[in-house]
Amino acid sequence: MLPLNTMISRLLAAPGCDRLLTNDGITSPELRIKGLQGVFGAASVDVRKVVPQVAHTASIAKNLDEYQFLLCSLIRSLPDSDPSKLELQKYRVGIVAAFARMVDILLAMRQDDLEKWNRYARLLLDETSEVYVKVRSNAKLRVSSHKEAFEFFGVPEDKIDSSLREFYGL
């Protein structure tokens, strides 16, 4: 995986918001990740022809992709001085790191790693959903963090926070 600062710079410098999936493996038989230039490559699997966990992976990935798109769209409307912007960016970085890890796992088709990915990605999805809803409703932003999910995806939460502060000059 890329160094965290490089990943963040490439992700945040992108001109717009885009989805990471071209086929979700739910409404189509194929789970196709288009990749993110300079961050992770593309991958594609036929959900019907691989281990059963891939269907669960596809479901989680579809929801994570939706949230990363929603987060990106919301982040663009917030001023850099808004503290929730950094929190939202952290979850977006976590999602992108989860996709990078998923691509590696899918290419090697390691069943045990896929089960772990599903578990930690589900934690990340639940937490991301909670943060998104709280920011949208202007509720007090208090979310119990599952640091182990960020660790599993290779982007420790404290390092993301530090890199984001550096990126924004805070």
| pLDDT tens digit sequence for 90-99 | 999 999 999 9
Q: Which domain holds residue 38?
A: 4-168
The pLDDT of residue 170 is above 90: no
Domain count, the chain: 1
Please state which of the ranges 58-62, 115-119, 143-147 shows the lowest mean pLDDT. Answer: 143-147
User: What integer pLDDT is reported at residue 38 of this predicted model?
Assistant: 79
| Type of residue at 84 | S
Q: What is the pLDDT of residue 140?
A: 63
Average pLDDT rounded to a whole number, residues 26-35: 89
Q: What is the pLDDT of residue 127?
A: 92
Which band of pLDDT confidence, cut at 50, 70 and 90, is reported for residue 139? Answer: low
Give the pLDDT band (50/70/90) at residue 142. low
Q: By the 8 A CB rule, do 54 and 25 touch? A: yes
Name the strand (E) or helix (H) holding 46: strand 43-46
Average pLDDT, the chain: 87
Tell me the average pLDDT across 102-108: 90
Distance CA 129, CA 63 (A): 9
- Given a contact cutoff of 8 angstroms between Cβ atoms, the answer to whether 69 and 99 are in contact is no
| pLDDT at residue 81 tops 70 | yes
